[in-house]
Structure 1
Amino acid sequence: MAPKQKRSQQDDLTSVKKPKTRSINYSLCIPTSIINRSNAKNLQQVTNILYQIAKVASIYNVGEIIIMDIQTPPDEKVNLNDVQDPNSKKKIKFDDDNTSTEKAKNEVSEDAMTIATILQYFVTPPYLTKTLFKKKFFSNFQYAKNFPKLTTLPFMNPEVSSKYREGLTVTMGKTTKSQNKSKKSQPLKNTKFVNIGYDKYLELQGQQVPVNVRVTVNTETKKVVSPIEAYEEQVGAKSSYGYHVRIAKKFTSIFTESSYPDGYSQSIYINSGDYFIKPNKKPELAEVKLNDSQDLNLLLIISKWNDIELAFKYDSKNLSGVENPKEFFDGQITIPEGTRIEDGSLIALTKLSTL
Structure 2
Amino acid sequence: MAKMLFIVPYAKCYLNFYWDLIESLVQDGHRVTAVAPDTDAEVALTAIGVRCIRIPIKNTGINPFYDIRSVYYLTRILREERPDILCCYSIKPILYGALAARMARSRRVFVTVTGLGYLFTGRTWKQRLLLPLVSFLYRFAFQHCERAFFENPDDLRLFKQLGLIKRNNTTIVNGSGVNLDKFTMTGNRPVISQVPLTFILIARIIKDKGIYEYIEAARILKAKYPAVKLSLLGPFDSNPSAISKTQVAKWMEEGVVNYLGEAADVRPYLRDSNIFVLPSYREGTPKSTLEAMAMGLPIITTDVPGCRETVIQGFNGMIVPVKNGGALAAAMERFILNPQLAEVMGTNSRELAETKYDVHKVIGKVRDMIQI
Q: Same fold (TM over 0.5)?
A: no
TM-score by length of 1: 0.23
Structure with the greater alpha carbon radius of gyration: 1
Q: Structure with the greater relative contact order (CA < 8 A, sep ≥ 6): 1 or 2?
A: 1
Structure richer in helix, relative to its length: 2
